[in-house]
Every structure is written in structure tokens, then in C-alpha cells.
């Protein structure tokens, strides 16, 4: 329970005295004032949490005082004291932001109840603010680590998209590359931040239920629909709906999704009424080939292109190796806090091993390894022997690719060569991106990223 400070503003000495006595007995700290002007000064000096304010006072009236107090701090809880039967003024005070009112003459018991209720409200408000700030902090872009050029570009692009009016964003990348993390950062960085962020793991909902989960249903729409229910799109109204694994949604739902995106309206299952919502969709897929699913007829082309207005490709960690050590150190810091450890750094030998390892589970696998080391080892510095054996023993058989080009004496443009090789590879395999990526020894995601960079997409 918070220790509330209370200010009583009333020109009748009897009232201020009796309230002060009563509330102090209940353990509150109480200050008093006998005019509106004095009340405002005391408020500025003592910043009380709750104020009792008489409406009938000489000098500036109660309503004026109320407005000035609210201007100084909109969160302050003001309880109005009115003359018996003066409901009209009480209502106008509530309209100006008062929390509640009490009529004269009042029972002290009623005052105690009112105060307890007000304290609960204040506490709840503070908790919400605290949680919200904590969320903003946890999901801010500051916690997305990435020093590679690719990640820097993704962070810049994501911030821009987040601030824009875009209502669809598609994040693609292997499992563990940070899609969920990025989706949250996009929401909490946007103007929608204080509206809901609703997460839907499409694969976790049975196919038969997904439509009613997303769009809701009316009573009697199907056997189990005993009452009408809001869908997640309505719950997310004004905010963001995060559709994880969108590649697994069935075709009928895709059609409805598309309409919801294009017209901003949908119908509940079994409903006739159009429901209008303003929701941003952030969709993700770790399906290598959503485009392939489109070609096979498993994913609607129109929905794919609609989602793809803002595509973001998160590269596998092994293709942005500069991020490995910064990520590892980021997790060392956070696990130090969590487990009360004091790991200060990573030895050069261990760094080499971490960089060499291919991290097929991406940033998630790296985080798990660091968590294990921080939990189990009592060490200042992480040495190779602290790492799991698969990392120590890993021998890189994929690189050492044999290809070599002599650098011309006048030098060359690395970017130009890269673009040229990509174009050649694509030509050789008739634009089959998977085959071209294989020829170049990179993943299809990496190829697509580079194609986008060189305006080849």
C-alpha cells in the first residue's frame, strides 16, 4: 500500500481540523489550506496524492481551483466537498476531472471508504505506468543488437516503417533470428504503442478455429458458439496484431485477412454486420519459400503482395558474423544481472570458436549457450573450455571455398563485383533464387537481401 499524502482545502476550520484528525489517526499524512490560492501553493510545495476540495469558498472558487490543480498534475485525485443537495455543481466538478464527491455533513466512515478507494486507484495507475515503461524499455530498439551493416539497415528501416502509416509488415527469417523481438520493437516504437499488441501463433490454433479466433463469432454461428465473442482483430483495435507463422494459414482465412487489410472491415463468423478496425498487421514466416507456396497455390498471391509492401529479411546469424560477439556480450550482461554473476568478457580463443560456429538456431541458440555458461561456470572470463563441446569441436567444412580472384593492380569495386556475380548466377539458373544462392554459397535470404540492396528485385 502506498503512503498517501492528503491535502484538505476548506474555509471552514471545523472541517479541516476534523478531517485532519481523523485521517492522521488512519495513518495518512495530512496538510491543510483555507483558500483555493493557498491550496494551490501547498500543492506545489508538498505534491499530495489526494485532495479534499470545498466548492464554496471565498476568493477563487472551487471549480477554478480544481482546474488549476488538474493543470499542474492531471493525475492528482480530487474529491469534492459540496453543500447538501448541490448535485449540479458536483456533476460539473466531475466533468472538470474530479474523482468523486461527498456531501456535507458527512460521516467520517464514508471518508475512510472514499480514501481507500482513491488509494487503490492511484496504486493501480502507478502499476500500469510502471509496467508500460518497463515494456517500452524491454522492447525498445536499444535492445536489438546488430553491428553488421545488414542489421543496421534493418533497424533503420524498421524504425521508419514503425513511424509510418504502413499497416502491413512482413518479417522473414529463419527460426531464432529475432523476428518476434523486431515485431515488438516496431509496435512499441510506433504511435500505436499504448494500444494493444496481440500475438497470434497461427500454428498453435486448430485450423477449424482460426477464423473465429481472428474475427470473432456470433452466438449460434456453430455448435459450440453459445455466446458471441470478439475476435483478436477487435481486441487489437488501434494497435498491432502479430501473426506469427502466417505461411500456415488456410486459404479461406487468407481471403478474409486480405479483406480486413484492404477495406479495414470484416464480419464475425456467422455475422452480417461489417466491423471496422484500424489494426496494423506484422506477419512473420520462417518458411524459406513463401513465394514457392504462392506458386503452388497454397498461399494467395494477392495477400502475399499485400503483406510484402514492407518486407524485412533477417539474415541468419552465420551470415552476419560481426553480430555474434556483440550479441554474446549483450546476453552476458543480462544474465550477470539475472544470476548475480560477474562475467566480464570472452577470451580471444572463445571468441574465435563462437564466430566460427554456424549457429543454425541463430540468436536464440547463442543466447541459450551464454545462459548455460553464465549459470554453470564461475569465471570472470569465458574460455574455450566453458563452451559446449559441439562448439569446441566444430570444424568449418563449408568455407575455404577454393574460389579465388586476383585483385587487379588498379583495384576494383567490391560492390560492383558482388552485383555482377549475383546477376551472372541468376542468369545461369534462369532466375531460380534457391539455385543461384547455392551457386554463390549463401542462403536464399541473404541472396534476396542483396538483390534488394542492388535493386534487382
Ligand X SMILES: Nc1ncnc2c1ncn2[C@@H]1O[C@H](COP(=O)(O)OP(=O)(O)OP(=O)(O)O)[C@@H](O)[C@H]1O
Beta-strand pair 280-285/168-173: parallel
Q: In the structure grid, which three cell numbers stand for residue 244, read together?
A: 506469427
Judged by beta carbon distances under 5 to 8 A according to partner kind, the member of ligand X, Mg ion, none in contact with residue 178 is ligand X
The residues near 363 (Cβ < 8 Å, ≥ 6 apart) are: 176, 177, 178, 317, 323, 327
Q: In the structure grid, which three cell numbers stand for residue 198, read together?
A: 496481440
Region binding ligand X by CB under 6 A among candidate stretches 44-52, 80-88, 138-146, 345-353 = 138-146
Q: In the structure grid, which three cell numbers stand for residue 73, read together?
A: 498534475
Region binding ligand X by CB under 6 A among candidate stretches 81-89, 117-125, 169-177, 386-394 = 169-177
Q: Is 144 near ligand X (CB under 6 A)?
A: yes
Residue 237 burial (CB count, 10 A): 17
What are the beta bridge partners of residue 275? 266
Going by C-alpha positions, the residue among 297, 306, 364, 362 that lies closest to residue 170 is: 306
* Nearer residue to ligand X within complex by CB, 145 or 355: 145
Instruction: Using the structure block, give the residue that is written with the C-alpha cell 539475472.
Output: 338
Q: Is 433 near ligand X (CB under 6 A)?
A: no
How far apart are the C-alpha atoms of 175 and 197, rounded to whole Å? 21
Region binding Mg ion by CB under 5 A among candidate stretches 79-87, 158-166, 175-183, 341-349 = 175-183
Among 47, 73, 175, 434, binds ligand X (CB under 6 A): 175
Among 48, 173, 216, 231, binds ligand X (CB under 6 A): 173
Judged by beta carbon distances under 5 to 8 A according to partner kind, the member of ligand X, Mg ion, none in contact with residue 176 is ligand X
* Nearer residue to Mg ion within complex by CB, 16 or 180: 180
**Positions 333 through 372 that interact with ligand X (CB under 6 A):** 363-364, 367
CB 94 within 8 A of CB 66: no
How far apart are the C-alpha atoms of 407 and 414, rounded to whole Å? 10
Q: Is 421 near ligand X (CB under 6 A)?
A: no
Q: Is 286 near Mg ion (CB under 5 A)?
A: no
How far apart are the C-alpha atoms of 327 and 200, rounded to whole Å? 27
Classified as helix, coil or strand, 198 is strand
CB of 355 to Mg ion, least distance (A): 25
Q: Is 180 near Mg ion (CB under 5 A)?
A: yes
Instruction: Please give the residue whose beta carbon sits closest to ligand X in the complex.
Output: 178
Q: In the structure grid, which three cell numbers stand for residue 166, read together?
A: 504502413
Judged by beta carbon distances under 5 to 8 A according to partner kind, the member of Mg ion, ligand X, none in contact with residue 175 is ligand X
CB of 200 to ligand X, least distance (A): 12
Q: In the structure grid, which three cell numbers stand for residue 277, read together?
A: 478496425
Among 16, 286, 433, 443, binds ligand X (CB under 6 A): 286
CB of 362 to ligand X, least distance (A): 7
Residue 271 burial (CB count, 10 A): 17
Phi-psi region at 430: left, alpha or beta (left = phi > 0; alpha = psi -120 to 50): left
CB 186 within 8 A of CB 162: yes
**Positions 176 through 215 that interact with ligand X (CB under 6 A):** 176-181
**Positions 63 through 92 that interact with ligand X (CB under 6 A):** none
The dihedral over CA atoms of 158, 163, 167, 168, expressed in degrees to the nearest 10, equals 0
CB of 363 to ligand X, least distance (A): 3
CB of 284 to ligand X, least distance (A): 6
Which residues of this protein are in contact with Mg ion, per CB under 5 A? Answer: 179-180
Which residues of this protein are in contact with ligand X, per CB under 6 A? Answer: 144-146, 173, 175-181, 286, 327, 330, 363-364, 367
Amino acid at each position: 500500500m502506498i503512503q498517501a499524502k492528503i491535502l484538505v482545502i476548506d474555509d471552514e476550520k471545523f472541517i479541516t481540523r476534523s478531517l485532519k484528525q481523523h485521517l492522521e489517526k488512519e495513518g495518512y499524512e495530512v496538510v491543510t489550506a483555507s483558500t483555493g490560492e493557498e491550496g494551490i501553493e501547498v500543492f506545489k510545495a508538498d505534491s499530495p496524492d489526494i485532495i479534499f476540495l470545498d466548492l464554496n469558498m471565498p476568493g477563487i472558487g472551487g471549480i477554478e481551483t480544481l482546474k488549476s490543480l488538474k493543470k499542474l498534475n492531471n493525475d492528482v485525485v480530487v474529491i469534492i466537498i459540496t453543500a447538501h443537495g448541490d448535485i449540479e455543481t458536483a456533476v460539473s466538478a466531475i466533468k472538470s476531472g474530479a474523482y468523486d464527491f461527498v456531501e456535507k455533513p458527512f460521516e467520517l466512515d464514508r471518508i475512510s471508504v472514499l480514501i481507500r478507494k482513491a488509494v487503490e486507484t492511484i496504486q493501480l495507475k502507478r502499476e500500469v505506468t510502471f509496467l508500460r515503461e518497463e515494456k517500452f524499455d524491454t522492447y525498445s530498439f536499444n535492445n536489438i543488437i546488430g553491428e553488421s551493416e545488414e542489421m543496421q539497415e534493418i533497424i533503420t528501416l524498421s524504425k521508419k516503417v514503425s513511424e509510418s502509416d504502413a499497416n502491413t509488415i512482413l518479417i522473414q527469417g529463419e527460426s531464432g533470428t529475432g523476428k518476434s523481438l523486431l515485431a515488438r520493437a516496431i509496435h512499441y516504437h510506433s504511435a500505436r504503442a499504448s494500444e494493444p499488441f496481440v500475438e497470434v501463433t497461427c500454428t498453435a490454433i486448430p485450423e477449424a478455429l482460426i477464423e473465429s479466433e481472428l474475427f470473432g463469432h456470433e452466438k449460434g454461428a456453430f455448435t459450440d458458439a453459445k455466446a458471441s465473442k470478439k475476435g483478436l482483430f477487435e481486441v487489437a483495435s488501434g494497435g498491432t496484431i502479430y501473426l506469427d507463422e502466417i505461411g500456415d494459414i488456410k486459404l479461406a482465412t487468407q481471403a478474409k485477412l486480405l479483406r480486413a487489410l484492404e477495406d479495414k472491415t470484416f464480419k464475425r463468423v456467422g455475422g452480417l454486420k461489417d466491423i471496422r478496425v484500424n489494426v496494423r498487421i506484422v506477419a512473420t514466416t520462417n518458411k524459406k519459400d513463401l513465394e514457392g507456396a504462392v506458386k503452388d497455390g497454397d498461399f494467395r498471391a494477392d495477400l502475399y503482395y499485400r503483406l510484402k509492401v514492407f518486407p524485412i529479411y533477417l539474415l541468419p546469424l552465420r551470415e552476419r558474423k560481426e553480430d555474434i560477439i556483440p550479441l554474446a556480450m549483450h546476453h552476458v550482461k543480462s544474465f550477470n544481472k539475472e544470476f548475480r554473476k560477474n562475467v566480464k568478457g570472452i577470451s580471444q580463443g572463445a571468441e574465435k570458436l563462437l564466430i566460427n560456429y554456424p549457429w543454425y538456431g541463430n540468436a536464440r541458440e547463442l543466447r541459450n549457450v551464454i545462459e548455460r555458461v553464465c549459470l554453470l561456470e564461475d569465471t570472470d572470463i569465458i574460455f574455450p573450455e566453458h563452451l559446449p563441446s559441439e562448439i569446441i569441436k566444430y570444424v568449418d567444412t563449408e568455407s575455404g571455398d577454393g574460389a579465388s580472384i586476383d585483385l587487379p593492380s588498379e583495384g576494383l569495386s567490391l560492390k560492383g563485383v558482388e552485383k555482377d556475380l549475383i546477376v551472372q548466377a541468376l542468369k545461369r539458373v534462369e532466375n531460380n533464387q534457391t539455385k543461384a544462392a547455392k551457386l554463390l554459397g549463401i542462403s536464399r535470404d541473404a541472396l534476396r537481401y542483396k538483390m534488394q540492396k542492388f535493386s534487382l528485385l
